[in-house]
Structure 1
Amino acid sequence: MQWNDLYVGGVAARLGRREDVREAVADGRYDAEEHEENDYLFVRVEDELTPADMAVEAAREALGRGAVGEGGVGLYLHAASTFQGLDHWTPGSYIQQHTAGGTAPALEVRQACNGAIMALEMAAAYLTAVPGRGAALITTGDRYNAPSYDRYRTDKNILLADGATALVLSREPGVLRLLSTATVGDTSHEALGRGTGGWQGASGDAGWPISLRDRKKEYLIGGGDIQDIIRTMTVRQQEAMQTALDDAGVKVADVARFVFPNIGRSAQDWELRKAAGISEEQTTWAWGREVGHIAAGDQFAGLAHLLESGALRTGDRVAVAGVGSGYNFGWAVLEVAGEPDWSTTAV
């Protein structure tokens, strides 16, 4: 979708402490061969705060960085995949209560690692359709702590990291102008993330930690076609990218920087990106390998990093990509409207 007169006023990340992955290799928590293949340097680990509390910190920073407008925050969206700190609870309302408050609705977006882009698209549609709503506050927050997860072994080619992000989308002029968003769904291989082991009566019935590796193995052993999985994911991601670029009226060559999910080097499709004219230097991989995969937060954290580090100039276009299990493929294209004087505040 093409968007008009919508801006990112502020974006911020609150990340866990840096843990050197070489230490995990040395003490046997991380496979040495996988470390070599995936090329991560650090992974972020949060020892105390819940995902919702991290999201509150990121949201306060984002709100302080950009104007909200007379209508105030008219919508709160929180995207997450993991336990948020309490069963049977609404973290979106908690984040609202501890940030800008007000009487706007708050809700959660459950689209796994594409949640932030889906929330961005929903927020843009809401602000466009509902007059008088000044801004939307979008947050993400996940923490992959034991016993539920083993950040080094739960999944393959991905190190699971702890962190939260926030972005303020507003009608008030801001640092980035939202040009377009696009999300494409394809459930052909939904079971890749579900496996064939059947349902559980309650969370944890299958034992801890969660093993996404085992679920993928179950699906493949049960007849999942790896070549069709690769083909489907490639085609759908390209479709979403091209739709977003076309709606924004730009080509790949017009985009200065790309923010891809912080998956390991061996899982990044470098050849496809090279064929599209995207160099590694245009991506945020050099930063991402020092962070790990913070689920839906990779996109907003990547944007915050580019703006805080002074890597963007007025007029630059930035494209961000997400992939959520199930599967959903999202892209957003933005243009730098001004260069902020932001210091790096993420831990």
Structure 2
Amino acid sequence: MRTPDIYLRSIGVHLPPVVSIETAVAEGRYPAEDREHFRLRGAAVAGDVPAPELALRAARHAFERSGGMSPRDLDLMLYADVWHQGPEGWQPQFYLQRHLVGGDVLAMELRQGCCGLFGALQLAAGYLRPGGTALLVGADNHGSPLVDRWRMMEGYVVGDGGCALLVTTEPGFAELRAVNVTVLPEAEAVNDGGVPMFPPDATVGRPLDFASRHREFRRRLLARDGAGVMRAIQSTLMVLVDRTLKEAGITLDEVARVAFPHGRWDNVEERASWLGLTLADTTWEYGAGIGHLGVSDQFVALDHLLAGGALAAGDYVLLVGVGAGKTLACAVLRIRDIPEEYASGRPG
């Protein structure tokens, strides 16, 4: 999907303190033998701070960086998440409407797995008219009795955090050149583990254990055409990236950095290799220190690249999403200029 005249005005991020892998190992929460192999360093842990509060803090941060935009001038707010946000029968966007943006803005919660903010970008790009502005937020706190953030997925740790994007039709610091999301339906069951759809897990206290569910999915695949599905995931992602780059009017050689979901180094390295890239081309090193944040990985990593001086005006950034469904996503951004809040914190 080409996205002419769609820009990022600012990024807001709220990350709680990081609990180190060393601490998790010492407390018996993370397998000691996995520390050296998977090279992870920690996870951002929000404690009892609710996910909607993480989102609110990130949204306020985005407005602080926006150069004077008002929350009351929004045309759209989309709230993406992957985990429970609060009381059943209640939706998290209402919290931001009460405490920040008011009730006149069209606001919706999106449940698209870990690719939720990519879907939000697509929806915002199609919805906004000249002069329009959208707030896209993503937030999760995985600190629940139903989740073991240190062992939920083999080789992954799960972090908490909030991220907010102010998307406008007026020129901002980055231009969204193209964004696409696609689903591979034959891999729809990758996260279900063969457990019943009803009653829902949370209503019967069934823990979320992706490690065992993924093993069960692979077992079922081997009984059918497991290799074919895995090849389809690879080929679909490669086609999606190629299409998005073409829509953006560039080649992969012109991309300065690539952000994948945060996770185990060998998984990121494999996906990067499909595109002819190496681990050094990605933001894996940063993600290994804060954990997989659900919907926010690539956009929090973009903020980190800007803050660390890894990007300059004119650079292209490729964001790649992989999630349940099997959902695959891709976006290309061109950095137009470096906002003052990043430039002022750079060395030299």
| Contact map agreement 1:8 1:167 (CA 8 A) in 2 | yes
Q: Summarize the Cα distance change of 1:216–1:250 in structure 2 as closer, same or farther, 3 Å threshold.
A: same
2:87 is the alignment partner of 1:86: yes
- The CA distance in 1 between the partners of 2:148 and 2:141, in whole Å, is 11
After superposing the two structures, state which structure 1 stretch, 216-225 or 174-183, moved more: 216-225
Q: 1:70, 1:76 → 2: CA distance?
A: 10
Instruction: Map 1:173-188 onto structure 2 (within 5 A).
Output: 173-188=171-186
**Take 1:70 and 1:189, find their aligned partners in 2: how far apart are those partners?**
39
Q: Could you tell me the percent identity over the aligned residues? A: 32
User: Quick one: distance in 2 between partners of 1:180 and 1:231?
Assistant: 25
Matched-pair contact (CA < 8 Å) for 2:71–2:101: no
Name the structure 1 match of 2:314.
Answer: 315
Distance in structure 1 (CA, Å) of the matches to 2:206 and 2:21: 22
Q: 1:275 to 1:51 in 2, by over 3 A?
A: closer
Deviations 1:205-248 (A, max 9, x none): 55453211222233333336442342122112112211110100
Question: 1:9-31 CA deviation, whole Å, 9 max, x = no partner?
Answer: 00121112111112222332112
**In structure 1, how many angstroms separate the alpha carbons of the residues matched to 2:247 and 2:204?**
44
Q: Tell me the distance in 2 between the aligned counterparts of 1:184 and 1:124.
A: 16
* TM-score, normalising length: structure 1: 0.92
Q: State the partner residue of 1:336.
A: 335
Distance 2:206 2:270 in 1: 36
Residue in 2 that maps onto 1:143: 141
- Corresponding residue pairs, total: 341
1:13 aligns with 2:13: yes
Offset at residue 332 of structure 1 (A): 0.6
Of 159, 162, 170, the residue aligned with 1:172 is 170
Cα distance, 1:70 vs structure 2: 11
3-state SS of the aligned residue for 1:188?
Answer: helix
- Shift in Å, 1:131: 5.0
What are the equivalent positions in structure 2 for 1:22-101 lying under 5 Å apart? 22-66=22-66, 68=69, 72-101=73-102
Deviation at 1:275, TM superposition (A): 6.0
| TM-score, structure 2 as length reference | 0.92
Shift of 1:50: 0.6
Question: How far did 1:300 drift?
Answer: 1.4
Specify the code of the residue in structure 1 equivalent to 2:33.
E
Displacement of 1:147 after TM fit? 0.1
Amino acid at match of 1:221: R
Shift of 1:339: 0.7
Q: Which residue of 2 aligns with 1:299?
A: 298
SS of alignment partner, residue 98 of structure 1: helix
Q: Secondary structure, in 3 states, of the residue corresponding to 2:150?
A: coil
- Asked if the contact 1:72–1:135 (Cα under 8 Å) also holds between the matched residues in 2, the reply is yes
Residue matched to 1:112: 113
The answer to whether the 8 A contact 1:69-1:172 is kept is no
Contact 1:252 1:277 in 2 (8 A): no
Structure 1 segments unaligned to the other structure (5+ residues)? none
Counterpart residue type for residue 174 of structure 2: L
Separation (CA, whole Å) in 1 of partners of 2:229 and 2:140: 26
Would you tell me which structure has more helix in proportion to its own residues? Answer: 2
Aligned-partner Cα distance in 2 for 1:164–1:113? 13
Query: C-alpha deviations, 1:42-100, integer Å up to 9, x for none?
Result: 11101121111000000111122125489921000011011112211121122233223
Aligned in 2, Cα 1:23/1:71: closer, same or farther, shift over 3 Å?
A: closer
